[in-house]
Every structure is written in structure tokens, then in C-alpha cells.
Amino acid sequence: MTSDERTVDRRSFLKAAGGAAVTAAAAGCTSDGGDGDDRSATDTYTVSSVGGPFLQTVEAEGTDTLVYARGDHPQNYDPQQTTSGEVAKVTNQVFDQLIQFDPGSGGQLADGLATEYSLEGSTASLTLRDGVTFHDGSELTAADVRASIRRFTDSDYDFYLGDENRSGYGPFTFGNWVASVDDSQDGEVTIELQQQYAPFLRNLAMFAAAILSADQVQGQGANPDDQAALGTQPAGTGAFQLEEIDNSNQRVRLTANDDYWGDGPQMEELVFKTIGENATRAQDVIDGASHITDNLDSQSSQQLQNTDSAELLRKNGINVGYMAMNMDRYEPFRDRRVRRAVSFAVDTEAIVDSIYEGFATQASQPLPPDVLGHNEELEPYETDKEEAQSLLEDADQTGLEFELATFSNPRGYNPSPIQTAEQVKSDLEELDAVDAVNINQFSTFTSYLEYTAQGRHDACFLGWYTDNADPDNFLYVLLDPKVDLDAVPDGQDWVSFDTEGYSTLNVSGWANTDYMETVREAQATLDQDEREEMYTEANRLAHDEAPWVFVDYAETLRGVNEAVQ
């Protein structure tokens, strides 16, 4: 192969790289690498899977080995055992899903292991691609699909992964929705859902919905410990197959799967190496020792911008960063005028431009652009202290004093949490009615999540990277309390965190019944135009009722060496 042949069209790479949304949280060398940690690695335990495999389309000049530098080195590469973006980067190359996200399309679906698929009522029907083989040599059949889903969700299955091993994606992707999987027809899979659930096909494209080989699953042994070991020898149908997990040197080596059913791979070898510190990782790409990296903070992004030997690729990410006001705990927030006043007082433009250094855009609603139902008519709240003042006077509020909880280490949607909290504090304390905003800073993200899940905060910062680029994944997941509509008292738009069925992913306690009805109906509506209309309305409601201060939509950033062209 000549070097000319090895080059890839930059446009297609940009498309692919941008489409594969990654966790862009960045942390310094002392970040608490684990809770997600935020790990130096960053958003390690929060994943954004939209994008799927794309590295098979990438080529680097002058070498047969593509080197991808990442911030962390997990040792288990089972897509059903992880919520880590660092793992998903690898498993997305090794495994395929029935349906895949088309790289660069902003979450559009494309054929994967299924060539035809449909969702009618509560039945999903899929036709499997012919002639696909797993890396272990077995041929893809409907039984593999059934075994994959059962291993992830069915505790009665002999080869169930176990509560202690499976990730939260088990119920989230399949378990809460799937009633049964029929594999009796050759090459056909029929999945019966418990209810009509529009986002289901998108769930099938999530990284965690990877299809495993039934032979391998059953060969592992019938207990959770044996199943957990699959993560050290994953064998999917993807463009690359696992060659070696080199834990001593924190590397993973994949080689080209010559029998891959799709286009590519273009490179003979793909190596994931690990460099926890962002600046060092960026430098490694600049030096050409690595070809691609991600999880960049503003400092390392600038490093890449200031060099000729590498490039910083930027694309809108499918995420949102917000400050939630907890109506259950802090009584004044139950008055929408107070919430709107806070939204008018916080200068999100300054946060995005100055603190996030322009690597994000101001948010206007829960749903980021490019996702179905994003309401184009809504604008971010303009900073207007007078309007804020007047709203607080109308609400007869004085002497406001509340806690603002924040985490410490950067995350993609909030690369400078402490500075952001200080900006909000300063903006709000300028208002006559606000006596004090007390920042409560958490050192680890896990303890922070525990605190907010218990509803112990007055206000807090959080954010969300999409799982499946479906509006339901933002609007229902984050702002519907999941309680019965009857559980919301008349004339009230909030509920207690103690209400039966309450989902603690909704950290504002907001329970607006109009909103709840809208997103629930949209979740069960299969017609895309109707869904779009409902979500557009739901976004308007959220914008006007302001349970959150909508802060930002962060960009997805990647550093790419000049050899990748």
C-alpha cells in the first residue's frame, strides 16, 4: 500500500469523528479518575455512545498502525459490563449493533447487523444480515441476538451476567421495555415490548446493545463470575478484533477483521494507548506518536490549535449542561417567577464565552440542536438583572439564601465547575432580593451524584450526554419525575423525592403535568412528525417554566495528527 493510498478524505474523517460523540470531559492529572471519574480520564464512567464505530474508515499516512490516545485504561471490554466511554471506544470497534448510528449524521440510524427493521405498535421486527461471522468463527443468527439480550436482562437465564456485573444500561436499554425475544424464524428477530415505546430502535443502536456470540456466552459458563471474564476476550463481529489487552503498558491492540461485513477497515492495526494527563496526550498527538485523541480540555485544545502538525476538530455535541433548582427542598423555587428570575440573572453567555472559552454554545432548552424536537424559536434567556429584580419583587421574595452544590473536576458539559459556580453566585448576589448563594463543593463526582440523587441540594449543576440521540433520552429521562400523574397534587408543579416511583435523574423535583403528559405521549407515538411537534412543545414548556438554568451545549473535540488526512 502506498502512502497516497493510505490517506483518507478529510471531509469524511471530520464527519465520522464529529459524529462519534465522545465524552469530552477533561480532567487534570489529579482528577479523581474514577467516578466517572471523572477520570482523568474524566468522564470515564459516563458514556455517550452516539456515533458507533468509525475508526475503520480512518487511515494514517506512512503507517499500518493507527494509534488512538485516550485518558484511561479499563481492563474489561464487555459492552454489557460498563458505562465507560473509554471502554465503548474499543467495544464499538470490536462489536456491532443491529442498527447503528450513521457517523456524522447527528444520530441518524443506518443498517447494522440488521438490514431491515421496523417498529409497529409494540413489536420490533428485524431481518439479520446474511453471511456475518463473529471473530470466534461462529455465524450470526437470531439466537445470538436473543442470548445477548437475555444475558443482559434476564435473571432466569442460565448465562445471566449478574446484578453485580451488568451495567445500568441493561434495564435502561432493554430490561425496562422488552417483554420477549423470538428467534424461531431463521434470520428474523421479533422483539415484543411491554408497551409502545418509540425510541426502541434507537436503543438498539446504543453501544451497550452490541450483539455477542451465543456460542461465546454459553461457553463462558453458567455463573456471573464466568460471564464477567468475557470482558477480557471479547469477540464480536466488528471491523477489528481484539489481539491483546496489555495492562502493564495500558494498551489495547486490535487487528483488522478480514471477514468484516462492511467497508474497511483501512488500517491493519489499531492501538489504543493511555495517557491520563490531557496536556501530555495532546502533545503526543502533536509529536505524531498518536494519531487521534479526545476528552480535551480548553488548555489542551489550545495546544492543538497552536500547532501545524495536528488539528483540533470541533463539532456540536449532543449534550446539555444545566443548573437545576430543587423545588422539593427550597421553597422559593416553587414559584416560577423566582426560577425565571434566576435564569434572567445568570449570565450564561459569559460562562460559555469566557469560562468555557468558546468550546460550547449557550443553551436555550433541555434538548440540544440536531435532535428531533429542538425548538428553533426558543432563545437562551438574555441576561437582564432588572427583569430578574422585578420578577422577584412580584413574587414578594427577599432575603433569599440557598446552597449551590457543585462538583470539582471538569466534565465535558462543564469544564470549569468551580468557576461556573462562582460566576452564578456573583450574578445572583447582585440582586437585592438575594442575600447569599453558598457554594457546596464536592471532591468526587460519585459522592456528588449520591447527594443530588437524594435531593439534598437546593440547587446543583449537572449535565447529560445522550445515549441514543432521541428526545425522550433528555426530556423524559431528566425532567419527568416518572411518578403517577395522580401523585402530583392539583395546582402544584413539583413533587417530593420521596414520592413512589420518583426518578432521581430529575434533580429539580419538577412535576409539571402538562409536560409529563406531553413527553409520555410522545414516548409512545411512532409518527415522527407528531413526536416532533410534541417535543417542540415540551421544550417550550421547560424553557418557560425554567426548572433549570439552561447553561450550555458542549462541543465534541478531537485532536488529530496531520498524518490522518
Partner 1 sequence: MVSRRFVVERLLLLVPVLFGVGTMVFGILHLAPGDPARIVAGQRASEEQIGQVRRALGLNEPLPVQYVDFLVDAARFDFGDSYQIAKGQPVRGVLVDRLPVTVELALYGQLMGVLFGIPAGLLAAVKQDSVTDHVTRVGALTGLSVPIYWSGPMLILLFSTFLGVLPTSGRIDAGTFLPDTWTLFGVRLPLTGMVTVDTLLLGNVDAFVSAAEHLLLPAAVIGIYSMALVSRMMRSSMLEVVRQDYMRTARAKGQGAKITVMKHGFRNALIPVVTVIGIQFGTLLGGAVLTETVFGIGGMGRLIVDAIGASDYPVVQGAVLTFALLFTLVNLVVDVTYSYLDPRIEQ
Residues 459-498 that bind partner 1 (CB under 8 A): 467
User: What does the H/E/C string look like for 58-95?
Assistant: CCCCCCCEEEEEECCCCCCCCCCCCCCHHHHHHHHHHC
Q: How far is the CB of 467 from partner 1 (least distance, A)?
A: 7
- Should residue 277 be labelled a site residue for partner 1 when binding is judged by CB under 8 A? yes
Calpha distance 523→7 (Å, rounded) = 43
- Should residue 251 be labelled a site residue for partner 1 when binding is judged by CB under 8 A? yes
Max distance between CA atoms of the chain, in angstroms, equals 75
Piece of 37-45, 139-147, 292-300, 550-558 that binds partner 1 (CB under 8 A): 37-45
Which of residues 165, 389, 416, 420 is near partner 1 by CB under 8 A?
Answer: 165
* Count of residues engaged in binding partner 1, rule: CB under 8 A: 77
Q: In sequence order, which residues have a C-beta less than 8 Å from that of residue 8 and are 6 or more positions away? A: 57, 58, 59, 266, 564, 565
Query: With contact defined as beta carbons under 8 Å apart, do 329 and 504 qualify?
Result: no
Piece of 6-14, 96-104, 285-293, 515-523 that binds partner 1 (CB under 8 A): 285-293
- Should residue 450 be labelled a site residue for partner 1 when binding is judged by CB under 8 A? yes
Neighbour-count burial for 397-409, b at 16+ CB within 10 Å, e otherwise: beebebbbbbbbb
Calpha distance 555→360 (Å, rounded) = 5
DSSP for residue 133: B
Closest CA to 468 of 27, 224, 77, 108: 108
Which of residues 33, 52, 380, 412 is near partner 1 by CB under 8 A?
Answer: 33
Which of residues 115, 194, 280, 354 is near partner 1 by CB under 8 A?
Answer: 280
Which of residues 271, 507, 534, 557 is near partner 1 by CB under 8 A?
Answer: 271
Calpha distance 140→152 (Å, rounded) = 18
Q: Which three cell numbers stand for residue 399?
A: 432575603
- Should residue 169 be labelled a site residue for partner 1 when binding is judged by CB under 8 A? yes
Q: Which three cell numbers stand for residue 283?
A: 502533545
Q: How far is the CB of 57 from partner 1 (least distance, A)?
A: 21
Piece of 104-112, 162-170, 381-389, 510-518 that binds partner 1 (CB under 8 A): 162-170
Count CB neighbours of 80 within 10 A.
27
247 three-class SS: coil
Q: How far is the CB of 286 from partner 1 (least distance, A)?
A: 8
Q: Which three cell numbers stand for residue 222?
A: 453458567
Q: Is the dihedral of CA 78, 79, 80, 81 positive or negative?
A: positive
Query: With contact defined as beta carbons under 8 Å apart, do 544 and 337 qualify?
Result: no
- Should residue 76 be labelled a site residue for partner 1 when binding is judged by CB under 8 A? yes
- Should residue 266 be labelled a site residue for partner 1 when binding is judged by CB under 8 A? no
Query: With contact defined as beta carbons under 8 Å apart, do 433 and 473 qualify?
Result: no
Piece of 247-255, 348-356, 517-525, 544-552 that binds partner 1 (CB under 8 A): 247-255
User: What does the H/E/C string look like for 423-439?
Assistant: HHHHHHHCCCCEEEEEE
- Should residue 300 be labelled a site residue for partner 1 when binding is judged by CB under 8 A? no
C-alpha distances out from residue 426 to 121, 345, 441, 502, Å? 51, 10, 16, 33
Q: Between residue 43 and residue 72, which ones bind partner 1 under the rule CB under 8 A?
A: 45-47, 63, 65, 67, 72
- Should residue 531 be labelled a site residue for partner 1 when binding is judged by CB under 8 A? no
Q: Between residue 498 and residue 517, which ones bind partner 1 under the rule CB under 8 A?
A: 503-505
Scanning 113-266, the segments in alpha helix (DSSP H) are 142-153, 169, 200-203, 214-220, 224-228
- Should residue 276 be labelled a site residue for partner 1 when binding is judged by CB under 8 A? yes
At position 485, the amino acid (one-letter code) is L
Which of residues 1, 3, 29, 179 is near partner 1 by CB under 8 A?
Answer: 29
Q: How far is the CB of 361 from partner 1 (least distance, A)?
A: 23
- Should residue 222 be labelled a site residue for partner 1 when binding is judged by CB under 8 A? no
- Should residue 30 be labelled a site residue for partner 1 when binding is judged by CB under 8 A? yes
- Should residue 6 be labelled a site residue for partner 1 when binding is judged by CB under 8 A? no
CB closer to partner 1 out of 67 and 431: 67
- Should residue 540 be labelled a site residue for partner 1 when binding is judged by CB under 8 A? no
Q: Which three cell numbers stand for residue 517?
A: 403528559
Calpha distance 540→270 (Å, rounded) = 45
Which of residues 49, 56, 57, 83 is near partner 1 by CB under 8 A?
Answer: 83
- Should residue 221 be labelled a site residue for partner 1 when binding is judged by CB under 8 A? no
Piece of 132-140, 413-421, 442-450, 511-519 that binds partner 1 (CB under 8 A): 442-450
- Should residue 199 be labelled a site residue for partner 1 when binding is judged by CB under 8 A? no
Q: Packing angle between helix 472-479 and helix 513-523, nearest 10 degrees?
A: 140
Piece of 12-20, 26-34, 350-358, 551-559 that binds partner 1 (CB under 8 A): 26-34
Which of residues 18, 22, 38, 198 is near partner 1 by CB under 8 A?
Answer: 38
Which of residues 150, 202, 273, 425 is near partner 1 by CB under 8 A?
Answer: 273
Q: Between residue 121 and residue 160, which ones bind partner 1 under the rule CB under 8 A?
A: none
Calpha distance 13→7 (Å, rounded) = 10
Q: How far is the CB of 91 from partner 1 (least distance, A)?
A: 13
Which of residues 246, 422, 517, 544 is near partner 1 by CB under 8 A?
Answer: 246
Calpha distance 411→343 (Å, rounded) = 22
